[in-house]
Structure 1
């Protein structure tokens, strides 16, 4: 069993609540637009950290984190890319990878809109955790926690960050 803390679009904004809400997590994943190495480093020191770079991330972050990341956790294959779209409207840059070899979980960011949707056609869960930072048009800052156990996803929690 692996408990995951998932966030995206911090845009260099640091909030101590990230650590507070991810205290119970085994890993932290960031779906891009990290914005600064400082944010990535603080998360990576706290828990094992996986991330992809987003469209606003500079070369310093792009050298450390890939554009697309595919990995397996507790029996579930995961694919993460900052700009990825969502079921029914995947970004052309990821369509081939998803359609040819769909993972069990596809994670994207970029839209700043929290969305959890199941793709029945591909038998795949999609999660966009929304935006945890303060830059952008979103009204509510959000993150997600969930559990992966034996290839299944459960106990998904949406976290709304005040302020």
Structure 2
């Protein structure tokens, strides 16, 4: 009998945050071939989510600028499992708990700061895709990508406009 050596399926998740009611065509193109999309808050209008849902299923959390009935329906924290990786989504990194590894969290997606960043702490991957909305100060306009294969996750981000 021969053992099967199958490789894990690759899941591509688009990461976007702080759109502040602006759906950039560059962001839609960047996210076009994703299996799913995560929006880490400060959406500011439901039409932004509608545009993203036309591309792929969306998980979104409420940011500090999301108000109204549609926004109250959004959670402040979302947890999803992608293959063997548990992903926690919150708008503000200050709202992330302390026991991530013991809670089984492998990846944390945040927004709020408008600063794209990827780091690893205590075996947990932290990703902020930055802001895909109106330019703030001299920060880049960006979005990110999370690739999950089995129990492995890696992230990247890309500037969308010069």
**Normalised-by-shorter TM-score class:** 0.7 to 0.9
- Does residue 87 of structure 2 align to residue 78 of structure 1? yes
| Alignment partner, residue 114 of structure 1 | 116
**Cα distance in 2 for residues equivalent to 1:51 and 1:21:** 18
Deviation, 1:40, is 0.8
Q: In terms of Rg, which structure is larger?
A: 2
The alignment's TM-score, normalised by the length of structure 1, stands at 0.86
Q: Residue 59 and residue 135 in structure 1: after superposition, are their counterparts in 2 closer, same or farther (change >3 A)? A: farther
Conserved 8 A contact 1:37-1:60: no
Among 103, 106, 113, the alignment partner of 2:105 is 103
| Alignment partner, residue 20 of structure 2 | 11
**Cα distance in 2 for residues equivalent to 1:3 and 1:57:** 26
How many residues are matched?
A: 153
Conserved 8 A contact 1:71-1:78: yes
**Cα distance in 1 for residues equivalent to 2:35 and 2:78:** 18
Q: Residue 138 and residue 100 in structure 1: after superposition, are their counterparts in 2 closer, same or farther (change >3 A)? A: farther
The alignment's TM-score, normalised by the length of structure 2, stands at 0.86
Structure 1 stretches of 4+ moved >4 Å: none
Deviation, 1:61, is 3.5
Q: Residue 96 and residue 146 in structure 1: after superposition, are their counterparts in 2 closer, same or farther (change >3 A)? A: closer
More strand by percentage? 1
Structure 1: stretches of 5+ with no match in the other structure:
85-90
| Alignment partner, residue 147 of structure 2 | 147
Structure 2: stretches of 5+ with no match in the other structure:
1-9
CA-based RMSD of the aligned residues comes to: 1.7
Deviation, 1:64, is 3.3
